[in-house]
Amino acid sequence: MSGTKAKRQPRADARRNMHALLDAAMEVFATSGVDAPIREIAEKAEVGVGTLYRHFPQRSDLIVAVFRKEVDACAAAASIMAEQYEPGEALERWLDRFIEFVAAKRGLSAALHSGDPAYDPLPAYLMEHLAPAASRLLQAAATAGVVRSDVEAPDLLMAVAHLCSPDGKGGITEASRRMVSLLIDGIRYDARGQP
């Protein structure tokens, strides 16, 4: 027998606990910030504090895992929307989903801008996953003639993120949503050679 062991999959209850912890942490971070007591997260997930620390020995491990989970879910939504809707509507619906991601990320922003090197890879992770998702939707919409073909996915993501102001309740203001709608109208302008 060789010295290498095959990596075992976590048990079903361990996977459930992990998902519950990540969901609970996202909710708690959105309302109470990333410095919320660990006990609050464990109670919301209906697990013991020891279980939380077994999965996430450091608070930064939990924050990174929550951020990545949110990025992955937002990226996966692009494919789902592309299958369910016409290209222009799929892009618009996905941008609404991205706005929700931006709102969720606000709860993590204190940690992400803390200077802790544990978070240094996260901006690249975001762009590596969300820019291709946005690019596929943009290309489909441009091919369908409903948006301009010269829009770059990273530029669009940055523009939407910068337009989104928090409403103080963990969401995005209505004014921000209107500004994003204007931005979307702007990328539609001249898509077929006319406004």
Distances (CA, A) of 42 to 33, 142, 157: 15, 46, 33
The CATH topology of domain 11-57 is Arc Repressor Mutant, subunit A (1.10.10)
Backbone dihedral angles phi then psi of residue 166, each to the nearest 5 degrees: -70, 150
Q: Where in the chain are the domains?
A: 11-57, 66-188
Low-confidence ranges of the chain (pLDDT < 70): 1-10, 106-107, 166-171, 191-195
Neighbours of 88 (CB within 10 A): 20
Q: How many residues does the structure list for the chain?
A: 195
The domain made up of 66-188 is a member of CATH 3.40.50.2000: no
Please list, in sequence order, all residues whose beta carbon lies within 8 angstroms of the beta carbon of residue 152, skipping any fewer than 6 positions away.
none
Q: What pLDDT was estimated at residue 1?
A: 46
pLDDT (tens digit, 9 = 90+) per residue, 44-100? 999 999 999 999 999 999 999 999 999 999 999 999 999 999 999 999 999 999 998
The per-residue DSSP string of 59-104 comes to HHHHHHHHHHHHHHHHHHHHHHHHHHS-HHHHHHHHHHHHHHHHHH
**What does the alpha-carbon distance between residue 130 and residue 122 come to, in Å, rounded to a whole number?**
12
Give pTM, 2 decimals.
0.83
**What does the alpha-carbon distance between residue 122 and residue 119 come to, in Å, rounded to a whole number?**
6
